[in-house]
Every structure is written in C-alpha cells, then in structure tokens.
C-alpha cells in the first residue's frame, strides 16, 4: 500500500468515528513522521467545525477535574469531546502519567470523550504548532468540542491557549503569590475566569484582584470576561461554567468576532509554521552538520564573533527578485 | 555623535566598570534596538572569561535567596557577580517586581553585585537568545561570575540553563508532586542538585528520588552530580554549594569538557540566531503584512490549507547554488 493510500484509508476510518484510527492519526502528527504533512492536508477540509476551548491555570488548580466535569456536562447534551492535555512537567514527579491513566479509566466506557496527553517535545520548540495540529485532527474527526488543557506557566502555554476560540483561566484562592504564578499575558487573553476550589478562604480576594486587573486590561472587543466560581471536585458551578462558554460562543457568532479571532490565530500559526519550515531548510541547505560544528568551535575559541557570522550566512541567501 | 562613536563610548565606559553604562548596554540588547547587533559585536572579544552559572527550580523553591547567598559568598572571595533573573510569571501576583526591588536594596551598597530582572518578551520567542546576549554583556563588563536564575517550568527555561557552564537544579521537600513540577529535560542536565529548605520533612525522599533518577540518566561525561542540602534563608549549606561549583569548574577545566560544552552551547546558539535572523528576513521580503493577513483569512475561511501554503512559500525561497 502506498503512503497516499494509507493516508486515505486512515482519513476514512477516522471520519467513520474509529477511535484507533484517531489515535494513530494523532501519533502521526505528534511525532512529525514523514506522513504528517500529507495527513494534515487531507484532514484540513474536515476541520473548522469544532469549538476550541483552551483552559489554563497554575499547577494544582484542579484543571483536569474541571475539564472532566465540563466534558461530562456537554456529554449530557449529546456532544462529543476531544481533550488534549499538554503537560510540560517532569517525569520525575510521576504525576502526569499516573493522572492520565486514572482519567482514561473514568472515561473508558464512553467513546464520546477522547483524551490525549501530550508531553513536551525536544528543544526545537513547536509545541504550540503540534498541539494545534492535534486539535485539527480531533476537529476533523467530527468532535463537537476540543478542549486544550495546559499549565499556564510558559510562553509555549500562552501560544497554545491563543489557538482557542474560547480561553478559560483557572485560579484558586489561598495558594500564595508564589504558587499563583501564571505567565504574564495569559490573564490578558482570558475570556472566562474560573475561581476553582471557591469554598476556600480567599476566594473574594482573588475575585477583587481579577476585577482590578480587568479595569486595566484592553480588549479588542466589548466582552467583559465573567468570573465563574466552581468546586470541580463536587461538581459545583459546572453548569454555570458551561453556560458562560455558550454565552461567549453566542457573542462570538453574533458580533462577528469568531472569524476575526480565527483569522488572527491563523496568522500567528502560519508565521510559526513558516519559521519551523525555514529552520528545517536552514539545517538542510545552509548550515551542514560539519559547518555548524566548525563555526561553534571558532566562536567558542573566540576566533569569530557569532553576530557577524549569522549576518554573513543570511546575506548569502540573497534577496528575491 | 554617530552610532559607531556612541557604541565605542558605551563599551569604554562599560569596560571601566561604569554601572550606568552596563545598565544601558543591557537595555540596548534586551530591547533589540538598532544598535544591538553592533554593540554585541564590539563586546564579544571581551567576553568568555566569566563562569556562567544557570540556576533553576520550581516556583517557591527559594531560588532568589539562594542566588543572593551564593553571590555574597563569592563576594567574600573578592569576586564580582552579575545576576540575570528571568521571570516569566504574571504581574498579576506582583511578586516579581516587588521581590526585585527588595533584592536591589539589599545589594545597593555593593557595586560588586549587579542584578538585572528580565521579563519574558512577546510570543516570537527568542528569550533564551536575549538572555544569552545579556550574559555576554555582563561577561564582557568583566564580572567574574554571571548567574542566570530562572523558573524551571518551560522550554524557554531549559534553553536558558543550557547556555551555562554549570547548571544547578533546586528542589524542595514536601511541596507535593503538583508543585514540584519542573520541565522534563532539566533534571537530566543538572550538574549540581540543591535540596533547599532541607530542614523540612521529606528531604530524604527527594534525595532518594534524585538518586533513582541518576541511575537512569545518561551523561556525556563521567561527572556524578552531587546533592547539596541548603537552608538558604539561614545561610546553611552555602559554602558547601560554592565548593561544589568550584569542584565542578575544576573538573570542567581538567577534563577538557569546559570547551566541549561551550562548543555545544555555541552550536545551539548559532542555529537559534540564524533561525531568528532568517525569520526576520522572511517577514521583510517573503511575507508582507498584507499577504500574511490575506493568507490567514483564506485559511480561516477554509479556502486554502495552511500546510500546502507554507510549503509553497518555502519553495519560492529557492535553493542556494
């Protein structure tokens, strides 16, 4: 079977709702195998129908439980859900893998919820790109909602939640400033705030801080991000959260901002994809293994300055006609 | 005064130990102003003498206190220190800015310690590059040690500590798995482990976990990373930590790995710089503002698939002769 036939078959099975085909397609994309680009080209026409929800917050904010509850709530409405849990944390703690197994079991009987954990990739970056592509696969498989869950601590994570139609930021009371650390820039892009574990002391303080921050923030639309209080472990506030998501979805459609936002997201993604593709090209054509090693040695021995070197290589590229 | 004269003057003042010139040079590099590349070219010949120490760990691990104590310990030996604190956390918590002010005050009287905080930049990345360039400025200013301190949670942070000659990973007992989250890949590159707040319950457990992980890790040299127990707030274990740093420095020099490591670091940096430079070039010549917007709209409307689009743009670049 040729690669093309193989991809066509994978797409057909995936479109029929075959979960193993879905898993295989995601692995192909996640591992950036040779077939990855062709598969994504074949799937792209089927994507664009799902609502993409990005959910982020500090470690320990109860994101997984919250996402599971939201998924179950949508299941009651007959919707199908794909969840991508991006976990940049160390295998040292063991938490991520174990947590995933427990979650998998609880959804085991329900084919309407598909969960995929993604660890972060090597230092060449591209995590946000890969996550976006995995979301495209889930979207193309016909899921009504795709929820992307990530720890809101790094630039990668900001880039990931930027891909979503709806961005939810989860905060918790009483964790102390040191732990409440989430990346600058995430607060600004929240469409909905959740105060989880809201029965804890300090919930009012967190709410006041969000309000204070909102008075300074500049949005490109006239949506005022609501604050929803939840206790995810007890299921409290979940219907309110889903209602808030649906209200924002209606707002997006009504105001025309849905399309504005998707265009902005695609703009960022195209630029990012271009950067990755160029990088691959540089490594193939402009900087061989041997040259890179020789240059690095010369710079390390201070025989050459790296700033002039990079200018020289780029200048050799020439300008387009 | 021409830009060239201005740069020459700045370099002269910086080399004389003028702290304001140092601050101005760092700002020039950090903000990537037009003069940035020329300044770095002028400073590069003076760099390469400082020992670069990278220190990372989870939020709340006590990194700042530890770095301050290490700096003071080296001051007793007459060494001068530059500290770059990279802080990707939100201004929402207020912790970063406040903390920096307090630290600034405590070192106020001592010109031998210079601290610079860096917030993360926009989503185009390049934080690791910028941090490396700031370290080069501090190095060229004649500081004996440059300490780069960062929260070990994202890929950016792994890239940052990779730049160092010595990488220190700080852990704390009893924070729970959820909070002990540090990026996969950081544990593997540690040259020295610190268990800070080591009077807390669970210090032995953390030590056992490090040992268990070490038995699996593959190093490119025969150094066995020591585990140093500290209580930074009381100054306990700091002389031991400095001794461990010096022992590793001696090992690096003796074994020849210092140069091997610097070459590897420069290799990574050159590739990264080249990618950024090419990307700028693409934005200038190959993808105008207007085109990017048009493409994004076409993709968002599903009239075009982004994967084929990126291939097309890259192909237009042509191949070098």
Quick one: A251 and A122 in the same domain?
yes
Quick one: B66 and B209 in the same domain?
yes
Q: Which class for B34: exposed (0-12), middle (13-18), buried (19 or more C-beta within 10 A)?
A: exposed
- Tell me whether residues A314 and B177 touch, CB distance under 8 A: no
Tally of helices (H runs) and strands (E runs) in chain B: 13, 7
* Whole-number pLDDT of residue B92: 41
Q: Which of A89, A259, A278 sits opposite B279 (nearest CB)?
A: A278
Instruction: Kindly report which listed range (A156-165, B108-117, B169-178, B208-217) carries the lowest average pLDDT score.
Output: B169-178
* Whole-number pLDDT of residue A290: 87
Report which of residues B88 and A199 the model is more confident about.
A199
3-state secondary structure at position A55: strand
Q: Do residues B232 and B62 touch, judged by C-beta distance below 8 A? A: yes
Quick one: B41 and B56 in the same domain?
no
Is the pLDDT at A177 greater than 50? The verdict is no
Q: State the smallest CA–CA distance between residue A272 and chain B in angstroms.
A: 8
Q: Which of B95, B157, B310 sits opposite A270 (nearest CB)?
A: B310
* Whole-number pLDDT of residue B139: 96
Quick one: A53 and A130 in the same domain?
yes
Instruction: Kindly report which listed range (A3-17, A116-130, B83-97, B102-116) carries the lowest average pLDDT score.
Output: B83-97
- Tell me whether residues B281 and A155 touch, CB distance under 8 A: no
As a whole number of angstroms, the distance between CA B199 and CA A67 comes to: 37
Domain span at residue A16 reads 1-45
- Tell me whether residues B308 and A90 touch, CB distance under 8 A: no
* Top-ranked range on mean pLDDT: pick from A105-109, A287-291, B262-266: B262-266
- Tell me whether residues A314 and B184 touch, CB distance under 8 A: no
3-state secondary structure at position A184: coil
- Tell me whether residues A184 and B120 touch, CB distance under 8 A: yes
Residues comprising chain A, all counted: 321
Is the pLDDT at B95 greater than 50? The verdict is no
Quick one: B137 and B249 in the same domain?
yes
Report which of residues A127 and A9 the model is more confident about.
A9
Q: Give A185's contacts in chain B (Cβ within 8 Å).
A: 90, 120, 123
- Tell me whether residues A293 and B263 touch, CB distance under 8 A: yes
Which DSSP category does B261 fall into? H
Quick one: A14 and A66 in the same domain?
no
- Tell me whether residues A91 and B184 touch, CB distance under 8 A: yes
Is the pLDDT at A154 greater than 80? The verdict is no
Query: Which tens digits make up the pLDDT trace of A18-73?
Result: 999 999 999 899 887 778 889 999 999 999 999 999 998 877 788 989 999 999 99
Q: Write the ipTM.
A: 0.77
- Tell me whether residues A300 and B37 touch, CB distance under 8 A: no
Query: Which tens digits make up the pLDDT trace of A40-50?
Result: 999 999 999 99
Quick one: A164 and A228 in the same domain?
yes
Quick one: A167 and A34 in the same domain?
no
Query: Which tens digits make up the pLDDT trace of A209-227?
Result: 888 777 766 677 889 999 9
Is the pLDDT at B102 greater than 70? The verdict is no
Answer yes or no: is B247 within a domain.
yes
Residue A272 burial (CB count, 10 A): 21
Answer yes or no: is B291 within a domain.
no
* Mean pLDDT value of segment A97-122: 64
Residue of B196, B160, B16, B183 whose CA lies nearest to B85: B160
Answer yes or no: is A282 within a domain.
no
Q: Do residues A35 and A28 touch, judged by C-beta distance below 8 A? A: yes
* Whole-number pLDDT of residue B185: 64
Report which of residues A282 and A88 the model is more confident about.
A282
Give the pLDDT band of residue B58 (cuts 50, 70, 90): confident
Q: Which of B155, B275, B296 sits opposite A156 (nearest CB)?
A: B155
Contacts with A289 (C-beta within 8 Å, 6 or more apart), sequence order: none
Report which of residues B216 and B168 the model is more confident about.
B168
Which DSSP category does B83 fall into? E
Q: In which region does residue A214 sit, left (phi positive, over 0), alpha (psi from -120 to 50) or beta (all else)? A: alpha
Q: State the smallest CA–CA distance between residue B160 and chain A in angstroms.
A: 11
Report which of residues A245 and B60 the model is more confident about.
A245
Could you tell me which chain A residue has the CA closest to the CA of B288? A271
Which DSSP category does A183 fall into? B
As a whole number of angstroms, the distance between CA A289 and CA B87 comes to: 34
Quick one: B226 and B151 in the same domain?
yes
Q: How far, in Å, are A88, A130, B120 from residue A175 at the CA level?
A: 21, 31, 23
- Tell me whether residues B296 and A267 touch, CB distance under 8 A: yes
* Whole-number pLDDT of residue A315: 80
Domain boundary among B209, B232, B255: B255
Answer yes or no: is B306 within a domain.
no
Q: Give A123's contacts in chain B (Cβ within 8 Å).
A: 155, 158-159, 162, 185, 268
Residue of A100, A130, A105, A132 whose CA lies nearest to A116: A100
Is the pLDDT at B262 greater than 70? The verdict is yes
Quick one: A58 and A205 in the same domain?
yes
Tokens for B304? 């075009």
Is the pLDDT at B214 greater than 50? The verdict is yes
* Top-ranked range on mean pLDDT: pick from A196-205, B276-285, B309-318: A196-205
Query: Which tens digits make up the pLDDT trace of A223-252?
Result: 999 999 999 999 999 999 999 999 999 999
* Whole-number pLDDT of residue B298: 93
Is the pLDDT at A264 greater than 60? The verdict is yes
Alpha helices in B112-237 (DSSP H): 127-140, 155-162, 176-179, 203-214
The 3-state secondary structure of A8-51 reads HHHHHHHHCCCHHHHHHHHHHHHCCCCCHHHHHHHHHHHCCCCE
Report which of residues A299 and A189 the model is more confident about.
A299
Domain boundary among A228, A255, A282: A255
Tokens for A18? 């075959």
Q: Give A301's contacts in chain B (Cβ within 8 Å).
A: 259
Domain boundary among B255, B288, B304: B255
Is the pLDDT at A161 greater than 80? The verdict is no
Answer yes or no: is A269 within a domain.
no
Average pLDDT, chain A: 82
**In chain A, what are the helix, strand and coil shares in percent, each to the nearest 5?**
55, 15, 30
Measure CA of the first residue to CA of the last residue in chain B; give whole Å: 41
Residues paired with residue A121 on neighbouring β-strands, in sequence order: none
In chain B, how many domains are there? Answer: 2
CATH number of residue A184's parent domain: 3.40.50.300
Which DSSP category does A59 fall into? T
- Which one of B124, B155, B280, B297 would you mutate to disrupt binding with A, by most A Cβ within 10 Å of its Cβ? B155
Q: State the smallest CA–CA distance between residue B197 and chain A in angstroms.
A: 15
Answer yes or no: is A313 within a domain.
no
- Tell me whether residues B153 and A158 touch, CB distance under 8 A: no
Q: State the smallest CA–CA distance between residue A289 and chain B in angstroms.
A: 10
**Packing angle of the helix pair B19-30, B36-43 (nearest 10 deg):** 130
* Residue keyed to tokens 């990005």: A54
Give the pLDDT band of residue B55 (cuts 50, 70, 90): very high
Average pLDDT, chain B: 82
Contacts A–B by Cβ distance under 8 A: 271
- Tell me whether residues B88 and A286 touch, CB distance under 8 A: no
Answer yes or no: is A277 within a domain.
no
- Tell me whether residues B319 and A179 touch, CB distance under 8 A: no
Q: State the smallest CA–CA distance between residue B24 and chain A in angstroms.
A: 19
Answer yes or no: is B204 within a domain.
yes
* Whole-number pLDDT of residue B242: 98
Quick one: A101 and A39 in the same domain?
no
Q: How far, in Å, are A177, A205, A229, B104 from residue A212 at the CA level?
A: 16, 10, 17, 27
Instruction: Kindly report which listed range (A162-176, B194-208, B242-256) carries the lowest average pLDDT score.
Output: A162-176
Q: Do residues A118 and A184 touch, judged by C-beta distance below 8 A? A: no
The half-sphere exposure of B52 on its side-chain side, counting CA atoms within 13 A, is 26
Strands B166-171 and B51-57: parallel
Quick one: B32 and B68 in the same domain?
no
* Whole-number pLDDT of residue A152: 67
Query: Which tens digits make up the pLDDT trace of B30-46?
Result: 887 778 889 999 999 99
Q: State the smallest CA–CA distance between residue B182 and chain A in angstroms.
A: 5
* Mean pLDDT value of segment B146-175: 81
């Amino acid at each position: 079977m040729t690669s093309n036939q193989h991809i066509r078959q994978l797409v057909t099975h995936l479109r029929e709702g075959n979960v193993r085909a879905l898993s295989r397609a995601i692995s192909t994309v996640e591992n950036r195998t040779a077939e990855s680009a062709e598969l994504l080209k074949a799937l792209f026409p089927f994507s664009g129908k799902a609502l993409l929800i990005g959910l982020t917050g500090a470690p320990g904010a109860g994101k997984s439980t919250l996402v599971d509850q939201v998924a179950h709530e949508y299941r009651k409405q007959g919707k199908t859900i794909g969840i991508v849990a991006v976990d940049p944390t160390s295998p040292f703690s063991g938490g991520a893998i174990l947590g995933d197994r427990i979650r998998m079991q609880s959804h085991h009987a329900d084919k309407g919820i598909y969960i995929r954990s993604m660890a972060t990739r090597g230092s060449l970056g591209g995590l946000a790109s890969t996550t976006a592509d995995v979301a495209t696969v889930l979207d193309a498989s016909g899921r009504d909602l795709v929820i992307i869950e990530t720890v809101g601590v790094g630039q990668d994570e900001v880039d990931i939640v930027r891909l979503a139609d709806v961005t939810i930021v989860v905060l918790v009371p009483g964790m102390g400033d040191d732990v409440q650390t989430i990346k600058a820039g995430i607060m600004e892009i929240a469409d909905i705030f959740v105060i989880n574990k809201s029965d804890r002391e300090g919930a009012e303080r967190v709410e006041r801080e969000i309000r204070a921050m909102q008075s300074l923030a500049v949005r490109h639309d006239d949506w005022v991000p609501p604050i929803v209080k939840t206790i995810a472990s007890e299921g409290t506030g979940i219907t309110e959260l889903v209602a808030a998501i649906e209200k924002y979805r209606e707002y997006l459609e009504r105001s025309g901002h849905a399309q504005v936002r998707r265009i902005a997201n695609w703009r960022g993604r195209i630029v990012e994809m271009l950067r990755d593709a160029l990088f691959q090209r540089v490594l193939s054509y402009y900087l061989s293994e041997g040259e890179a090693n020789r240059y690095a040695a010369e710079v390390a021995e201070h025989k050459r300055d790296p700033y002039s070197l990079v200018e020289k290589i780029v200048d050799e590229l020439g300008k387009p006609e």
